[in-house]
């Protein structure tokens, strides 16, 4: 049994990127082929843990949204050793729900701790690119999102981090308390964008 969750995002010339999770080598190869034949980009991993790592939701390393590995759909086997498909989807949904709430309140992106220099660099480019494409007013907040096991009270970033963002253009910046790194959406394609168009597909 496989369950699929996430946002199905078909955007004309753009390829759907599917993250397939299955502990069986044969099954992984089959699903990979099926998806490739259907003109999808596929990343096949062998476990829930690997899937979370790939999505950048394991609390390690990189920040989701800036690694260019946007995933439109997650398809996972249900019974796997370690983390079942159900547990994986629950984890993802939990993290996304938290992110979602922040995004709905005005933030546009987020970073996962620990934050690195490259994160801030990419954030800067992201914002500058947006400004170049002529977006209007934006609200910029900064917050680091910790993973499930940590309480939100410890996740507030220091106020000094918001001041590191560029202020070269006529944009309006606001530092909020419970901040989330953000800029106005100038691109309709956001990585695993959970807000608004949030849709969960469950299929037996």
Partner 1 sequence: MDTVSQLQRQFVDHTTSLYREGFVDDQFTQLQKLQDENSPDFVVEVVTLFFDDCEKLINNMARALEQQQEVDFKQVDASVHQLKGSSSSIGAMRVKNVCVTFRTFCEAQNREGCLRCLQQVNREYSLLKNKLQTLFRLEQQIVAAGGTIPAVE
Region from 13-21, 23-31, 130-138, 186-194 binding partner 1, contact rule CB under 8 A: 23-31
Considering only residues 53-82, where is the footprint of partner 1 by CB under 8 A?
Answer: 79, 81
CA distances from 25 to 21, 22, 28, 32, 45 (A): 10, 8, 5, 11, 9
Choose, by CB under 8 A, the member of 29, 172, 196, 199 that binds partner 1: 29
Q: Is 25 in the site for partner 1 (CB under 8 A)?
A: yes
Contacts with 131 (C-beta within 8 Å, 6 or more apart), sequence order: 168, 169, 171
Determine the Cα–Cα distance for residues 34 and 40; give it in Å rounded to an integer.
9
Q: Per this entry, what is the length of the chain?
A: 204
The answer to whether 27 contacts partner 1 (rule: CB under 8 A) is yes
Of residues 34, 132, 156, 201, which one binds partner 1 by CB under 8 A? 34
d(CA 48, CA 76): 8
Decide if residue 196 touches partner 1 (CB under 8 A): no
Taking a C-beta distance cutoff of 8 angstroms, is the pair 140, 106 a contact?
Answer: no
Number of residues that bind partner 1 (CB under 8 A): 12
Contact between residue 200 and residue 7 where contact means Cβ atoms under 8 Å apart: no
**10 near partner 1 (CB under 8 A):** no
Q: Applying CB under 8 A, which of residues 10, 12, 26, 68 lies at the interface with partner 1?
A: 26
**Shortest Å distance, C-beta 50 to partner 1:** 18
């Amino acid at each position: 049994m496989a369950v699929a969750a996430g946002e199905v995002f078909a955007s004309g010339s753009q390829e759907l990127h599917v993250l397939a999770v299955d502990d069986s080598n044969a099954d992984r190869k089959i699903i990979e082929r099926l998806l490739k034949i259907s003109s999808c980009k596929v990343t096949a991993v062998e476990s829930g843990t690997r899937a979370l790592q790939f999505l950048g939701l394991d609390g390690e390393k990189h920040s989701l949204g800036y690694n260019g590995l946007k995933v439109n759909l997650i398809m996972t086997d249900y019974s796997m050793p370690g983390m079942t498909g159900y547990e994986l989807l629950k984890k993802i949904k939990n993290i996304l729900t938290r992110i979602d709430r922040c995004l709905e309140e005005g933030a546009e992106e987020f970073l996962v701790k620990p934050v690195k220099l490259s994160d801030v660099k990419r954030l800067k480019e992201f914002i500058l690119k947006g400004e170049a494409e002529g977006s209007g007013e934006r609200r910029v907040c900064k917050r680091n999102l910790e993973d499930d096991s940590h309480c939100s009270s410890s996740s507030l970033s220091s106020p000094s981090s918001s001041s590191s963002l560029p202020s070269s253009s006529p944009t309006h910046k606001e530092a909020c308390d419970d901040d989330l790194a953000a800029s106005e959406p100038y691109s309709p394609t956001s990585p695993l964008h959970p807000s608004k168009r949030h849709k969960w597909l469950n299929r037996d």
